[in-house]
Amino acid sequence: MNGTPVRLTPLTARLLVRLIAADGEAVTARQLYRDVWQQTVELPHQELRNRNEVQKRILELRRAFDLAGPGHGARIIRTGQLPSGRGIQSTYQLDLAEEELDSTEFTCLVGDALRAAPASAVRLLAEALRLWRGRPLTEVHDEEFASAPVRRLARLRQTALRELVDGHIALGRHDLALPVAEQTVRERPDDVEAAAVLTRLNARLRERHGGELLRHTLRGLRVDVVVVRGDLFDQEDANLVVGFSDTFDTFPDDVVISRESVQGQLVDRLFGGRHKLLDVHLRRGLGRFTPLGTESVRTKRRGRRVRYPVGTVVAVPAGRRRVFALAYSRLGNDLRARSGPADLRLSLERLWPSVALHGLFKPVAIPLIGTGLSRIVELDRTQLVLLIVETFTQSLRQDPAVSPELRVVIRADDLERTDLSAVEAFLRGVDERGPAAPPATVP
């Protein structure tokens, strides 16, 4: 009572459930005795004794309700009289407000949801289903007097589950609709309509996720970390991160820049093969940085000669999104790019503030940088992913609005050498420790 459990004797508890099953209707003392005490034979002169037994249990119930306040018992359990061929019979009726009885509140919430718009309906249905704690009227579930209300409540629950699925779908939350649809099919394996809804939901989610391999929402931040299999340039809804050397070369001549590299594909796929157009944007962005120096023609015969610090980031506009050109390697005069874990960490730590400033709060997609011609051999694929994810989550401590989603794009041939379970374990640890704790496996 008032949140405190009240112990009732078994017969009294059964009597209360019988009154609940009456769904607000008055029940005679005679009928109560037959149903609760399961009387099968009525002996002569037994009626008065039976009525007294019922009255004793009613008194016990009223005293229990009075624990919530004086007079509650008499208000909740009302006594009436019913004329009959055998004289006036005493009746008892449970009179509870909507919020005082779970089954009544459940019914009202579902009814309100059926008349509400999807967002309100989802809230009301979720609230209603939280009231469901196993089979209704468990103590008398198989009794004849309970069969009608039990069937009604069970049907209403199926309606609530179905409507909840429809509500989530209407709101575009197929991920929330899926577990409800799965629960419905488990409970009703012969329901053809429910099975069809589940099939459509699974197909929709597969289509939506595409090559998605891992998704983790960082607790309390509304930021998703996602790993997908595929092509960086297919991430059309996201800003892109593309690795460069410290000279920011762009011409894919297969000597300084390979046409198959991410830089080479950037020129071809986003700038129509016009590397000079990309140069214009890079020069404009690099004007804010002080070069480290300039190589001579004698020492560096091919490519650009002006060098910028490792960790330099230029936000290049590309339609309605940005390409973040990130210098994380040094291009030697022998035209070999070299980088290491410390260079990559520094570059990533400088990348995320630039994404926060220039990224228009869009998702940001980044390839597995360090696996190509920069040859960061000290780190395996898993450690590279962890370093990207770790520096991103650390950046959220300074600015939780860096990006709504970090998307690490892994090529199919790198996937078999990447342990995504370690990445998922790290992200779970981030939720527990906070976004600043580094993984032990990354130098």
3-state helix, strand, coil in the chain (%, to 5): 50, 15, 35
Domain-ending residue, one of 42, 63, 94: 94
Position 132: which residue type? W
Domain count, the chain: 3
Q: Is there a single domain that holds both residue 53 and residue 140?
A: no
What pLDDT, on the 0 to 100 scale, is given for residue 421? 93
- List, in order, residues 6 or more apart from 301 with CB less than 8 Å away: none
> What's 300's DSSP letter?
-
Per-residue pLDDT of the chain (443 residues; tens, 9 = 90+): 555 677 777 788 778 878 877 777 888 888 888 878 876 666 666 777 888 888 888 888 888 887 777 877 778 788 888 877 667 888 888 777 766 777 788 888 999 999 999 999 999 999 999 988 777 666 655 677 767 777 888 888 899 999 999 999 999 888 899 999 999 999 889 889 989 988 988 888 776 656 788 999 998 788 999 999 989 999 999 999 999 999 999 988 877 788 888 888 999 999 988 999 999 999 999 999 999 999 998 888 888 899 999 999 999 999 899 999 999 999 888 888 889 999 999 999 999 999 999 999 999 999 999 886 666 878 999 999 999 999 999 999 999 999 999 999 998 888 888 999 999 999 999 988 765 444 444 44
Q: Is there a single domain that holds both residue 203 and residue 217?
A: no
Kindly state whether residue 441 falls inside one of the protein's structural domains.
Answer: no
122: tokens are 């989802």
Domain containing residue 307: 213-432
d(CA 11, CA 98) in angstroms, rounded, equals 25
Q: Is there a single domain that holds both residue 117 and residue 87?
A: no
d(CA 235, CA 366) in angstroms, rounded, equals 10
Q: Is there a single domain that holds both residue 81 and residue 200?
A: no
Kindly state whether residue 439 falls inside one of the protein's structural domains.
Answer: no
pTM value is 0.59
d(CA 110, CA 122) in angstroms, rounded, equals 10
Could you give the C-alpha distances from 199 to 160, 175, 194, 210, in angstroms and in order? Answer: 19, 13, 9, 16
What pLDDT, on the 0 to 100 scale, is given for residue 179? 92
